[in-house]
Structure 1
Amino acid sequence: MTTNIADRPGLDLVAERASIVRPGSDAKLLGRIGSLETRLARTASEIDAAQAVRYRVFVEEMRAKLDPEAERRKRDFDAFDLICDHLLVLDRSLEGDTEDQIVGTYRLMRQEVAEAHGGFYSASEFDVDSLIARHPGKRFMELGRSCVLPAYRTKRTVELLWQGNWAYALRYGVDAMFGCASFPGVYPEAHALALSFLHNNVSATGEWHVEALPHLKRDMDLMPAEAINARRAMMALPPLIKGYLRLGAMTGSGAVVDKAFNTTDVLIVLPISSISDRYINYYGADAGRFAS
């Protein structure tokens, strides 16, 4: 039986990082727009810097409550960081070392990596195991810990993050992506319009259906369908979720409140076959749109 790396008591992340982290030896540049570049982290120090960016966004901006060690180090970290690849966006116009130039990040975990270490992060909130079991011939990839510093929340940065995700998915023959996406706050009712819109219009069905874990599940169907104004609902969606929907994503059934991160989470499910031709043509079937 495989033990989830996140459940191992007393894990010393600093001591183990050098032996477990595989900062991409083939982490070539995946894209460039102006002074911004995207690629995988190459060193443990770059991963540490990405964790510092996550801390600034999740704790200092969004008021997440992390454990005392994370607060002391001013890093958002967990054991999954040791086994995931870390996609970075860097602004090369900034002075300093590479670590000082990281302005955005995503955490990527392939199915074979998750299975070797006890499962996906999202499995703590959603029944992704059942989803994957229904697709034995497909390869899944989890997207997580997405964040961008406030000054860089622009179209260019988002385009580069997706350039990196798309190039990575092509490199590893990924058939579907999924991951948690968040609304601010721990009261789903505050997002009744947006959650009800997702439930009624883009909820995954059939072979792609996935439920929040029963003991955590919160209802997303908070308004009558006839009362939902689609335009207003789209405006109420967080930009990340709106971007996923434009690509062709679906959502799982039920939301989950994450009190530690001060968020209400939904599961995003994006089969590669569902990605709009418009976006595949834009980024390139070979991810060549912004590649160097």
Structure 2
Amino acid sequence: MSVDAFNSAVAEVHRPSSPLAPKEGDILGRIGSLETRLARTASEIDAAQAVRFRVFVEEMGAQLSPEAMRRKRDFDSYDAFCDHLLVLDRSIEGDGEDQIVGTYRLLRQEVAMANGGFYSASEFAIDELLARHPDKRFMELGRSCVLPDYRTKRTVELLWQGNWAYALKHGMSAMFGCASFPGIHPESHALALSFLHHNVAAKDEWAVGALPHLARDMDLMPAEAVNPKRALMALPPLIKGYLRLGAMVGSTAVVDEAFNTTDVLIVLPIASISDRYLNYYGADAGRFAS
């Protein structure tokens, strides 16, 4: 499949140690009543964890620790040092905690290295990828979720405007993170996984796979048997959004029993972001990054 044909197919279809005073200058993007910014207080992070619980546990069937299930919060040790990107609907009455409709967890390389490494390294060979790029600064995107009523194009665009403004502000060179298919049977996603394997696999200096003892094949169908339009329709919206930006995918997948998902690794060098999206996000997000 040629690059032009692939692009055509795609086209179709911190935790703060103490509360921070709200300030206008930390807004990373706006679309209508929605705005995106980093969490300012521990209570906003708690509210984001509640949103994650609703999506990952109540909707997707994840099985978390007994304490997490009791508290109805998705949390782990990474929450203490990651930055938490929020999407808020300002038309909802109440405080910021009541207005959170989506969230992303952001982890910069220097912060990760000071706190034991990246979350994704528990599934994928991240250290090998980092070692090949000692001159680059990586950031990890994780725990992405949006409440059902807000799973629209503009919410996804706003999340990406926030990610892009954050990356610009901190001088990031590349982004990566896990993206998930529902369920723990990769074979049920044979078409989509095979499409990713044959068309957007990360190669050469960007090549990365799952840890050997966790690796599951993605090459489940021959290239000639993969219908690109059908495969794109079978991709989760988040993965489809990454591909539009110019992302690549790791060579093998991982089954996450606890979260009831099949995970793939997304790799997105800033230099690879499609000019169309670079101009689209950069024109607006640049002013938010200052």
TM-score normalised by L of structure 2: 0.91
Residues 1:55 and 1:24: Cα distance change in structure 2 (over 3 Å): farther
Partner amino acid, structure 1, of 2:285: A
Partner of 2:168: 170
Distance 1:237 1:23 in 2: 39
Match of 2:190 among 186, 189, 192: 192
Deviation at 1:25, TM superposition (A): 8.5
- How far 1:288 sits from its partner (Å)? 4.2
Deviations 1:4-58 (A, max 9, x none): xxxxxxxxxxxxx774x79798871111111101000000000000000000000
User: 2:165 touches 2:288 (CA, 8 Å); kept in 1?
Assistant: no
Query: In the superposition, relative to structure 1, how do residues 59 and 206 fare at CA in structure 2: closer, same or farther (>3 Å)?
Result: same
* Structure 1: gaps spanning 5 or more residues: 1-16
Alpha-carbon offset, residue 290 of structure 1: 8.2
Partner SS state of residue 88, structure 1: strand
Q: What is the aligned partner in structure 1 of residue 86 from structure 2?
A: 88
Structure 2 distance, partners of 1:155, 1:23, is: 30
Q: Could you tell me whether the CA contact under 8 Å between 2:181 and 2:236 is conserved in 1?
A: yes
CA distance in 2, matches of 1:23, 1:127: 36
Per the alignment, residue 7 of structure 1 pairs with none
State the match for 1:5 in structure 2. none
Which residue number in structure 2 is paired with residue 133 of structure 1? 131
Tell me by how many angstroms 1:95 deviates: 1.1
Distance (whole Å) between structure 2 residues aligned to residue 130 and residue 22 of structure 1: 37
Query: What per-residue deviation string (whole Å, max 9, x for no partner) do you get for residues 187-232 of structure 1?
Result: 0000000000100110000000001000000000001111011111
CA distance 1:148–1:203, change in 2 (3 Å): same
3-state secondary structure, aligned to 1:287 = helix
Partner of 1:52: 50
Is the contact made by 2:27 and 2:288 (CA closer than 8 Å) also made in structure 1? Answer: no
Name the SS of the counterpart of 2:285 in structure 1. coil
User: Residues 170, 24 of structure 1: CA spacing in aligned structure 2 closer, same or farther, 3 A cutoff?
Assistant: farther
Compute the TM-score of the two structures, normalised by the length of structure 1. Answer: 0.90
- Aligned partner of 2:34 among 36, 59, 81: 36
Q: 1:286 to 1:136 in 2, by over 3 A?
A: farther
**CA shift for structure 1 position 289:** 8.0
Aligned to 1:230: 228
Equivalent pair of 1:23/1:40 in contact (CA under 8 Å):
no
Distance 1:104 1:137 in 2: 32
Q: 1:24 to 1:208 in 2, by over 3 A?
A: farther
Root-mean-square deviation (CA, aligned residues, Å) is: 1.9
Which residue matches 1:280?
A: 278
Give the Cα–Cα distance (whole angstroms) in 1 for the partners of residues 147 and 244 of structure 2.
22
Q: After the TM superposition, list the runs of 4 or more consecutive aligned residues in structure 1 that deviate by more than 3 angstroms.
A: 21-27, 288-291
Is the partner of 1:75 in helix, strand or coil?
A: coil
Separation (CA, whole Å) in 2 of partners of 1:183 and 1:18: 32
Aligned-residue offset at 1:285: 5.0
Q: Do the aligned residues in 2 keep the contact of 1:23 with 1:85 (CA within 8 Å)?
A: no
> How has the CA–CA distance of structure 1 residues 24 and 201 changed in structure 2, closer, same or farther, with 3 Å as cutoff?
farther
What residue in structure 1 maps to residue 213 of structure 2? 215
The secondary structure found in structure 2 opposite 1:243 is helix
SS of the residue aligned with 2:213?
Answer: coil
Aligned pairs, how many? Answer: 275
What are the ranges of 5 or more consecutive residues in structure 2 without an aligned counterpart? 1-14
Q: Deviation string for 1:153-185 (max 9, x for gaps)?
A: 011111110000000000000000000000000
How far apart, in 2, do the equivalents of 1:53 and 1:214 lie? Answer: 33
State whether residues 164 and 282 of structure 2, in contact with CA within 8 Å, keep that contact through their aligned partners in structure 1.
Answer: no
Tell me which moved more, 276-285 or 203-212: 276-285
Amino acid at match of 2:118: F
- Aligned mates of 1:178, 1:284 — CA distance in 2: 19
Query: Equivalent residues in 2 for 1:2-17 (5 A)?
Result: none
1:104 equivalent in alignment to 2:102: yes
CA distance in 2, matches of 1:18, 1:30: 17
Number of the residue aligned with 1:65: 63
% of aligned pairs identical?
A: 81
